[in-house]
Amino acid sequence: MLAIKLEEWLSERGITVVSPVAATIPKMDFLVTLGGDGTLIEAAHIVSGKGVPIVGVNLGSLGYITEVCASKVFSALEEILASRYTLQRRMMLDVSCPSGSFVALNDAVISRSEHARMVDIAASVDGEYLTTFRADGLIVSTPTGSTAYSLSTGGPIVVPQLDSIIINPICPHSLTNRPLIFPPSAVFTIRALVKERDALLVVDGQERISLAGDEEITIKKSASDTILVSFPKTSYFEILRSKLAWSAPPNYRR
């Protein structure tokens, strides 16, 4: 099992390994995740605000933010021990509602609690009314999340170095409702116009909160960042070419 081999390899080099990771650990130099993007996102929530760099090892199928493939994990750790790596800061969102406060590395999604039903979602930015989206839902995304759910609903890909907030309606009833990109200083107030507790807020695909029609959601840039370990030989655009098959030759055969 890779986790056991990894722990043995690190212990042989005098490195203390603590597993599983808990938010109560006083100090961590690095956090290594084994899994897909969802595993890394969960880890980012655990160490939010602690300044711990995360090494994402991809055992999943896509992996936009888990940069290291399983076959190269030990060579990647050698690079880290030799200080041949860089740190990328990824913007996060603070998401607040009456039920609590959360952080998001990818996105916050507001929709009906029942699937396949349209919902009216009123949105304001910096205290000014923006519009009421009539759609299947609304995605509020970071640049990191622009290659996640937002991408599949026609949203733009935003390079992670550009701090910004993307709002993207899901299957809007009006074809003129398009994705919008806002500066990181923007503060959003969002309310699903529903009866009873018939709205759903999903944060990073992990936290699910039911909402009533009179409950507001506030979303803004978080003071906390997620810190990802990256390596000079891997570029963001190389990852996009690989994951999105941009380099695949056209198939002209019929």
Segment 108-162, tens digit of pLDDT: 999 988 766 889 999 999 999 999 999 999 999 999 999 999 999 999 999 999 9
Residue 26, domain extent: 2-85+231-243
**Catalytic residue flag (residue 37):** yes
Total domains in the fold of the chain: 2
pLDDT of 23 higher than 60: no
Tell whether 164 and 77 lie within a shared domain. Answer: no
SS3 label, residue 4 = helix
Rounded to the nearest 10°, the torsion over CA 144, 149, 152, 155 is -50
Global pTM reads 0.91
pLDDT at position 16: 86
Tell whether 198 and 123 lie within a shared domain. Answer: yes
Residue 237 within any structural domain of the chain: yes
Categorize the per-residue pLDDT at 44 as very low, low, confident or very high, splitting at 50, 70 and 90.
Answer: very high
Tell whether 194 and 112 lie within a shared domain. Answer: yes
Question: In terms of Cα–Cα distance, which of 148, 218, 139, 222 is closest to 181?
Answer: 139
Tell whether 37 and 140 lie within a shared domain. Answer: no
Question: In terms of Cα–Cα distance, which of 24, 37, 43, 27 is closest to 103?
Answer: 43
Categorize the per-residue pLDDT at 214 as very low, low, confident or very high, splitting at 50, 70 and 90.
Answer: confident
CA 68/CA 76 separation, integer angstroms: 7
pLDDT at position 243: 83
pLDDT at position 22: 63
Tell whether 96 and 216 lie within a shared domain. Answer: yes
Residue 248 within any structural domain of the chain: no
Tell whether 41 and 19 lie within a shared domain. Answer: yes
Tell whether 100 and 215 lie within a shared domain. Answer: yes
CA 6/CA 73 separation, integer angstroms: 8
Catalytic residue among 29, 37, 136, 198: 37
Tell whether 192 and 145 lie within a shared domain. Answer: yes
Residue 121 within any structural domain of the chain: yes
Residue 251 within any structural domain of the chain: no
Residue partners of 174: CB distance under 8 A and separation at least 6: 134
